[in-house]
Structure 1
């Protein structure tokens, strides 16, 4: 049976093309939803882009018929603008009908009582779904962009290696594979003495590669577990242009990425600059409303990156001091920025840019939508490497979850591509206290 789906603004702002993803059913957009979407169109953030795109899409459909009467969609469905079709007393407890959510609920409840077809309210707003359920309204999340990450053990290949293979591996730093494996796959090689080596499949899937034997320790940071070893292998492999590091706080995601970026930018000079960014302001607001100059506005949100950089630079200075040598890097982060070897930005300011020959780190990427991640990746110019760090289990965005965030989409859509690698770090290395607290609290 054909259904009626009522969309609220959170769905259109999350996916401007959402109306095309309900097959041969009827999609209804309450008039108040249009008002809410229109109110977001001037935002410079992704939410503003989504609002403008949704409005343009509806405007294009307007040329095919009157939206208030319904316009056929290419997929065989129909979209209609509902002009606040409700009774003022339909909601209980004399609810405030000036509130957009209440008007949307009233429209949906009116349609539910009048239509023989099932009427479903689709919203990304959890509280809205709870209120709808309390009113007896069928409701669901927007599922079109949801993906499910596979169990972590399915991402790791375990392989036994005899002594002859190990000898070849140590000599050549790789061994050929008789049967190809998907590119950039994490491989746990179990040796004859039951010790293990962290290996990666090559980008063409035809070899097992081992770089740790070269003393891989960017910026004097050495891996403390298998997952960190795989992460460093990917971070330092120039053929892997996009790296996805997932894991809870304290597992070393950001620190490893920064150490690798500093090494390849300042010492190896593979990249002209390391660019660090993170989503900082929730609900799509611009930082312009915050007091102070740009750097003053940004600093509190970027402090975790500054903390990691200060740790890395301090450790390097102490090591150089022990050797009795002059430090090979400037001691202050500000000097690195002044020399344009380091740039710390908010995501708002890197959209629209073409960024060549840079090592880009996007922290807290779990708070980005799939479209935002796509926008960032498509900014990469020739010679650029992008690293996204985040924890899909710790999402602060009101309309994203573990199955609909940008990191999950990368893992679902790009896994197996020669330019892409991903690692899920699971073991906390920040401190014993942090690790125990994360597991017990």
Structure 2
């Protein structure tokens, strides 16, 4: 039976092409949703971009007929702008129809009572789904963009190695596999004495590679657990052009990425510059506009990156101070920026750029949509490596969740590609206090 789907504005602001994702069913957009989208179109951030894209798509559909009477969609469905179907009597007493959510609920409830077909309100707003359920309206989340990641244990392959294979591994830094595996996969090699060696499969999947180990430490940072060893293996491999590091706070994602980036940019000179960026999604109440120039405005949002860089560069700064170098006057971070070996940028300003031969780190990437992640990756020029760091369980973006954020889409779509590697870190290493508190709270 054909169904009727009523779309909330949160769905279109999350996916402007959501209209065509409901097969051959009828899609209803209440007029108030158009008003809400129109109010967002001048925003410079990604929500404004989505609003403008949704309006342009509706404008193209308008060429096929009057939207208020219904227009056929390419997938066999139908789109209609609903102008009526709400009144003061249909909602509970004292409901404020000045609120857009209540007007959308009124439209959905009126259609539910009139239609013989099932009417389903689709919204990413949890509170709205609860209110709709209380009114007897069928409701659902927008599932088209959701992906389910496998468990962490499923991503890790355990293989036993005999003493002969271990000897060949230490001598040649790799051993051939009898049957190929997925490229850049985390492998837990169990030795004859029961000890464990962190390995990864090669980019072509026909070898087990051991390049890292505890003896090699980029920027004097050594791995503290298996996951960090796998992460450094992939970060230090120039053949892996895209690395996805997922894990809770304190597992070392950003620190490892920065250490590897500094080593390969400043010492090895594989890349001409390390570019660090993060989306501006404040935690808690926004503090509003900030005074000063651009660098002063964005510094509070970039402070976590500065903190990690200060930690990594502290030892070098102390050595320079002992020698009485000029770098005593200006911080090591400012010196790297002045030499154009380091750039710390707001993610907004990356759009439209072409970035070759750079080591790019995107922090807090869980607050990016799949479309935004695609936009960032397509900025990469020849010789560029991109590292995405984030925790899918700590999302501050109003329209994303654990299953619909850009990191999850990346892991789902690119798994098995030779240029892509991913590690899910689980053990906190920031401090005993942070780890124990995270477990208990």
| Normalised TM-score (structure 1) | 0.95
Distance in 2 of aligned mates of 1:215 and 1:384: 26
CA contact (8 A) 1:86 1:110 kept: yes
Matched, 1:401 2:401: yes
The residue that corresponds to 1:52 in the other structure is: 52
The residue that corresponds to 1:111 in the other structure is: 111
Distance in 2 of aligned mates of 1:400 and 1:14: 8
CA contact (8 A) 1:365 1:390 kept: yes
The residue that corresponds to 2:425 in the other structure is: 425
Q: Deviations over 1:299-343 (max 9, x none)?
A: 111111110000000133457789x89799984212211221111
CA contact (8 A) 1:282 1:397 kept: no
Equivalent runs, 1:96-175 vs 2, <5 Å:
96-175=96-175
Q: Deviations over 1:43-82 (max 9, x none)?
A: 2211122111111111111111111111111111100000
- Residue 84 of structure 1 deviates from its aligned partner by 3.7
CA contact (8 A) 1:219 1:316 kept: no
Q: In the superposition, relative to structure 1, how do residues 416 and 326 fare at CA in structure 2: closer, same or farther (>3 Å)? A: farther
Equivalent runs, 1:15-414 vs 2, <5 Å:
15-213=15-213, 215-281=215-281, 289-318=289-318, 331-414=331-414
Distance in 2 of aligned mates of 1:97 and 1:82: 16
CA contact (8 A) 2:214 2:223 kept: no
- Residue 40 of structure 1 deviates from its aligned partner by 1.4
- Residue 290 of structure 1 deviates from its aligned partner by 3.6
Distance in 2 of aligned mates of 1:205 and 1:265: 27
- Runs of 4+ in structure 1 deviating by more than 4 angstroms, as ranges, are 286-289, 318-322, 324-331
Distance in 1 of aligned mates of 2:263 and 2:84: 59
- Residue 101 of structure 1 deviates from its aligned partner by 0.9
The residue that corresponds to 1:5 in the other structure is: 5
CA contact (8 A) 2:41 2:48 kept: yes
Q: Deviations over 1:357-391 (max 9, x none)?
A: 11111111111111111111111111111000011
Q: In the superposition, relative to structure 1, how do residues 346 and 186 fare at CA in structure 2: closer, same or farther (>3 Å)? A: same
Q: How many residues align?
A: 438
- Residue 241 of structure 1 deviates from its aligned partner by 0.4
- Residue 288 of structure 1 deviates from its aligned partner by 9.2
Distance in 2 of aligned mates of 1:430 and 1:318: 23
Distance in 2 of aligned mates of 1:193 and 1:186: 21
The residue that corresponds to 1:435 in the other structure is: 435
CA contact (8 A) 1:242 1:385 kept: yes
Distance in 1 of aligned mates of 2:326 and 2:220: 14
Distance in 2 of aligned mates of 1:384 and 1:33: 41
Q: In the superposition, relative to structure 1, how do residues 319 and 227 fare at CA in structure 2: closer, same or farther (>3 Å)? A: farther
Report SS of the residue matched to 1:56.
helix
Question: Which segment is superposed worse, 122-131 or 229-238?
Answer: 122-131
Distance in 1 of aligned mates of 2:426 and 2:213: 23
CA contact (8 A) 2:321 2:327 kept: no
CA contact (8 A) 1:313 1:331 kept: no
The residue that corresponds to 2:416 in the other structure is: 416
Q: In the superposition, relative to structure 1, how do residues 199 and 321 fare at CA in structure 2: closer, same or farther (>3 Å)? A: farther
Report SS of the residue matched to 1:29.
strand
CA contact (8 A) 1:173 1:213 kept: no
Question: Which segment is superposed worse, 156-165 or 325-334?
Answer: 325-334
Report SS of the residue matched to 1:200.
strand
Distance in 1 of aligned mates of 2:324 and 2:265: 21
Unpaired segments of 5 or more residues in structure 1?
Answer: none
Q: In the superposition, relative to structure 1, how do residues 328 and 164 fare at CA in structure 2: closer, same or farther (>3 Å)? A: farther
